[in-house]
Amino acid sequence: MRRTLAAGNWKMNGDAAMLEALGHLQAPGGDSAPDILICPPSTLLVQAVAASKDSPVSIGGQDCHSAESGAHTGDVSAAMIKATGASAVIVGHSERRGDHAETNADVRAKVEAAWGADLLAILCIGESEVERMGPDTLDIIAAQLDASMPDGATGETLVIAYEPIWAIGTGRVPTLEQIVETHDMIRARLVTRFGSEGDSIRILYGGSVKPSNAAEIFTAENVDGALVGGASLKVADFQPIIDALAAS
Ligand code: PGA
């Protein structure tokens, strides 16, 4: 059984009040309680780790550089994120791929850097709207997955987040059928590449997950949780998503 995961990506948002609210998040469901992860901006990581002490919430970064150290102004390394007490890092988010021209090879190197620092890597992939409308959508996502994912992944070290770019922050979500088809394809590919270990790697859906649509999305067998942007900024929005995951 894969443990489910509700991950919140705060993006370039976060303040003292939001850190305070972290302590109010709860993991319902006893043994089936979802893992809860919040990824604040890197400037807040140390405070977020402190604020989530004695709570079920773990803390992660939103990106890391692939190098261990050096002349990379503005960047942070995986080891620096680890040193804050964080346990995970998102890599390859479409906003990083878009805003910072990150390639699949760059993202793959970041996953390896995360592993080198003993961080869980949450690897994001997903198609553009034009790619979704074309005939090769699944092939495009598969190629992105293959090229971004290093060898040697395990359920302990890697989480995949499928995030259609056109669904991020737009209020639009794929149909359940499209989500099922895409997640099943990703699962099959993980198993082909990693054998039975591929079955233990969690696959999150991301893109306009809200309290109103979470329960339906979580009915899909190969949806093991969600990567949530906007709806992770308020406990009143994020908690019902966690609860829907616990009930799924
Ligand atoms: P959204 O963002 O939930 O605001 O659509 C998701 C993400 O970018 O991870």
Question: For 44-91, how does the pLDDT look when each residue is reduced to its tens digit (9 = 90+)?
Answer: 999 999 999 989 999 999 999 999 999 999 999 999 999 999 999 999
Q: Which residue reads 């793959």 in tokens?
A: 108
Cα angle, residue 198 at apex, residues 100 and 11 outer, rounded to 5°: 30
Best residue among 12, 122, 227, 241 to mutate for probing ligand 1's pocket (most ligand atoms within 8 Å of CB) is 227
Total residue count of the chain as it appears in this document: 248
Residue identifier of the C-alpha nearest atom 9 of ligand 1: 229
Here the tokens at position 24 are 């109010």
Q: Which atom of ligand 1 is nearest to the CA of 161?
A: 9
Alpha carbon nearest to ligand 1 atom 2, residue: 229
Closest residue CA from atom 1 of ligand 1: 229
Q: Count Cβ atoms within 10 A of the Cβ of residue 221 and give its class: 0-12 exposed, 13-18 middle, 19 or more buried.
A: exposed
- The mean per-residue pLDDT over the stretch 28-40 comes to 90
Distances (CA, A) of 55 to 39, 49, 74, 76: 15, 10, 31, 26
What range defines the domain where residue 182 resides?
5-247
Q: What is the mean pLDDT of residues 105-112?
A: 98
**Is 118 a residue whose pLDDT tops 90?**
yes
Counting atoms of ligand 1 from 1, which one is nearest the CA of 94? Answer: 8
Which is more confident, 29 or 82?
82
Helix (H, G, I), strand (E, B) or coil at 53: coil
Instruction: Single out the residue of 194, 122, 204, 206 nearest to residue 158, CA to CA.
Output: 122
Q: How many domains does the chain have?
A: 1
By annotation, the residues acting in catalysis are 93, 163
Structure tokens at 34: 């979802």
| Residue bearing the bigger pLDDT, 32 or 134 | 134
Domain of 100, CATH number, reads 3.20.20.70
